[in-house]
Amino acid sequence: MSGHHHHHGKEGGDKRIGWAIFVNVLLTFAQIVGGIFSGSLSLIADALHNFSDAASLMIAYGARRISRRPADDAMTFGYVRAEIVAALINYTTLIVIGLYLLYEAVMRFIQPEPIEGWTVVVVAGIALAIDIITAMLTYAMSKSSMNIRAAFLHNVADALGSVGVIIAGTLVLIYEWTWIDPAITLLIAGYILWQAFTEIGGSIRVLMMGTPEDTDVNRILEDLRGIEGVEDIHHVHVWALDEGHNAMEAHLVVGGQSLADMARVKKQARRVLKERHGIGHCTMEIETPEDRSDEVSKVIGHEVGAESGGETGH
């Protein structure tokens, strides 16, 4: 029953993203048509910016579908990291957009351009409405998915751009403050870059097989060494398979000689890892003190036991 509910939740999420893509593509075409008829270059530019929103949602949607494919001979871990790759792509494009907006704002300060009338303000208002709809469709999912969060931030950046155009356009029309347009653009670009640089590290960490942020490897070692019969532990690697699943591999040196002792230690170690550290997937090699696989073991990238001589074995 729970499996059916879970599946239903994913399908519902797909529908929400599908609608978000649809309204964004519709807006893009409307802006291009409006831009051609009104002769407004900035409207066409905004349409292209909006299309980047739709593209980021398409990437997120495609990655969601790919990530559900079962493991096969070519991908024995499955396709779950497709969403992490999509997040990295979307954060990278967000950084490019942020840097481009910075450049545009600086150029506008140096060479101010006249801002077109109410047409731009009205269309920016429509764009903002679409951005709010998209945000509402994706906000709940963005909390639990790095992939959707990246697309959601694209959308937030777009919404801020629309707000900026409305405020700047209105102030220029009323007070003729031409400097307000690049000033607001600078603020928006700064926010986009701050958000993107804050979030991109998470996807890079997963793809670089980094230790998950909420995992304390030293605590894991302490807990495993506390198990009766464990004399030493080495070759420890902890990484995230995706956002929700952590994995670990380690070599346990066990004092007991019988297979029953070894099985007991392994079972206890698995329970400790699952209950205290949330690690469900672990591969453990059991060794006796006599058949240790290397003279110098490596724990979390630091050499230990160097006093026994010999080169680092890994």
| Exposed/middle/buried for residue 101 (C-beta within 10 Å: 0-12, 13-18, 19+) | buried
State the Cα torsion 192-196-198-199 to the nearest 10°.
140
Q: How confident is the model over 50-95, as pLDDT tens digits?
A: 788 889 999 999 999 999 999 999 999 899 999 999 999 999 999 9
The phi and psi torsions of 132 (rounded to 5 degrees) equal -65, -40
Choosing from 178, 207, 236, the residue where a domain stops is: 207
In 143-257, which residue ranges form alpha helices assigned H by DSSP? 146-175, 180-207, 217-225
On whether both 93 and 177 belong to a single domain, the answer is yes
On whether both 22 and 128 belong to a single domain, the answer is yes
DSSP annotation of 116: P
On whether both 228 and 196 belong to a single domain, the answer is no
pLDDT above 70 for 292: no
Residues of the domain holding 255: 217-308
On whether both 191 and 222 belong to a single domain, the answer is no
260 Ramachandran zone, left/alpha/beta (phi>0; psi -120 to 50): alpha
On whether both 9 and 40 belong to a single domain, the answer is yes
Yes or no: say if 156 and 53 are a contact pair by the CB < 8 Å rule: no
Total domains present in the chain: 2
On whether both 229 and 273 belong to a single domain, the answer is yes
Q: How confident is the model over 204-230, as pLDDT tens digits?
A: 999 999 999 889 999 999 999 999 889
The enclosing domain of 254 has a CATH number of: 3.30.70.1350
Of the candidate ranges 48-52, 197-201, 288-292, 301-305, the one whose mean pLDDT is the lowest: 301-305
Helices (H) and strands (E) in the chain, counts: 8, 5
Choosing from 165, 189, 207, the residue where a domain stops is: 207
Q: How confident is the model at residue 272 (pLDDT cuts 50, 70, 90)?
A: very high
pLDDT above 70 for 298: no
On whether both 274 and 202 belong to a single domain, the answer is no
Q: How confident is the model at residue 268 (pLDDT cuts 50, 70, 90)?
A: very high
On whether both 59 and 39 belong to a single domain, the answer is yes
Q: How confident is the model at residue 314 (pLDDT cuts 50, 70, 90)?
A: very low
On whether both 51 and 139 belong to a single domain, the answer is yes
pLDDT above 80 for 35: no
Q: Sheet containing 230-240: which strands, arranged edge to edge?
A: 279-287, 246-254, 230-240, 297-299, 302-304
Choosing from 187, 207, 227, the residue where a domain stops is: 207
Query: Token pair for residue 265?
Result: 């230690």
Yes or no: say if 230 and 224 are a contact pair by the CB < 8 Å rule: yes
Q: How confident is the model over 163-204, as pLDDT tens digits?
A: 887 888 788 788 877 788 788 888 888 998 999 999 999 999
On whether both 200 and 280 belong to a single domain, the answer is no
Of the candidate ranges 1-5, 104-108, 129-133, 254-258, the one whose mean pLDDT is the lowest: 1-5
On whether both 55 and 180 belong to a single domain, the answer is yes
